[in-house]
Amino acid sequence: MVMQSLSRIGRGAVRRGSAAVGALRGRIPPQSPPWEPSAERRHGWWDLLPFTTHRIPLADGYETAVDGANPFEDVRIDIVMEACGGSLDGRTVVDLGCLEGGFSLALAEQGAAHVVGIEARRISVERCRLAAALRGTPNVEFVEADIKDELARRDPFDVVLATGILYHVSDPAAMLRDMRSACRGVAVIDTHVAATDAATHGCSELVERTLDGGVYRGRMFAEYAPDSSLDERAGLLWAAWSDADSFWPLEDDLVRMIHDAGFESVEKIEFDADRRQRWRVDQVNRVTYVARVTS
């Protein structure tokens, strides 16, 4: 039944799917996965392979993606660990816009008490759950939700991880305030900012926006057509979920925004050559800050 399903999804998928068969053999019998993928997955969890970018190691050298980056080797995991004094023992973590779950899994396996990954897109959440099942990582939970709703429902976390998400919201000041309310320790923020001189990434001219009383300068970025259907948005796996435009503040304005949100200390993380090499993102106008709650 498995090979029959595979043959229907193309040669590339067969090759990758066959690799996954080996990875799964002896761990999860193909006929009885540990959870039911949604009915949208015609071939069950085979439809979830390969992942788009989180290249998560599975058993026997297999991985969830052919290309992409291994989150377990990503420098942002090091930055979280350093920000936490080298240990996550007993700490709770939330991973905002967790995509395919690689960072959540890496932090869970670094000893966190519990990790919650929040992700709006169903197929990505299913990939997260598949990866957790295949790695046998128990202390991680993946929630299909909009961050803006879900954070408010949760008790504060010791660690808030925001990689590649702040530049996907139209009101980053509000998201930072939500993050501050949800944080009782440290927040790691990895994001694009607007360039001062000329626009990058197809951003707009410089604009000034008033967000909750603060005035910030930056650029707008179009995420999707405002009249996009839910299905169209669901297919844009790396994009904003609920904002047709996002606002990228200038770096100085971002720092002020983090302070305005109520974080008491804000520290920029500088990258040496080794770290740059392991920072597997588009590095143009990309910055990383560690913000802390001290009271």
Q: Which residues bind ligand SAM (CB under 6 A)?
A: 97-99, 118-121, 124, 146-148, 163-165, 168, 238, 240-242
Report which secondary-structure segment, H or E, holds 186: strand 183-192
Total Cβ atoms within 10 A of residue 185: 17
Q: Is the dihedral of CA 50, 114, 84, 161 positive or negative?
A: positive
Q: What angle do CA 55, 60, 66 make, to 5 degrees?
A: 30
Q: Closer to ligand SAM at the Cβ: 6 or 211?
A: 211
CB of 175 to ligand SAM, least distance (A): 8
Phi, psi of 61 (to 5 degrees): 80, 0
Q: Closer to ligand SAM at the Cβ: 6 or 221?
A: 221
Q: Closer to ligand SAM at the Cβ: 2 or 244?
A: 244
Pairing status of strand 183-192 against strand 140-144 = unpaired
Chain centroid to CA 56: 14
CB of 39 to ligand SAM, least distance (A): 21
Q: Closer to ligand SAM at the Cβ: 60 or 212?
A: 212
Q: Closer to ligand SAM at the Cβ: 70 or 242?
A: 242
CB of 96 to ligand SAM, least distance (A): 7
Q: Find the residue with minimal CB distance to ligand SAM.
A: 97
CA distances in angstroms from 258 to 88, 166, 255, listed in the order given: 23, 11, 5
CB of 48 to ligand SAM, least distance (A): 14
CB of 168 to ligand SAM, least distance (A): 5
Q: Closer to ligand SAM at the Cβ: 240 or 291?
A: 240
CB of 206 to ligand SAM, least distance (A): 23
- DSSP, residue by residue, 247-287: EEEBHHHHHHHHHHTT-SEEEEPP--HHHHHT--S--TTEE
Could you give the CA distance from residue 2 to residue 30 in angstroms, rounded to a whole number? 7
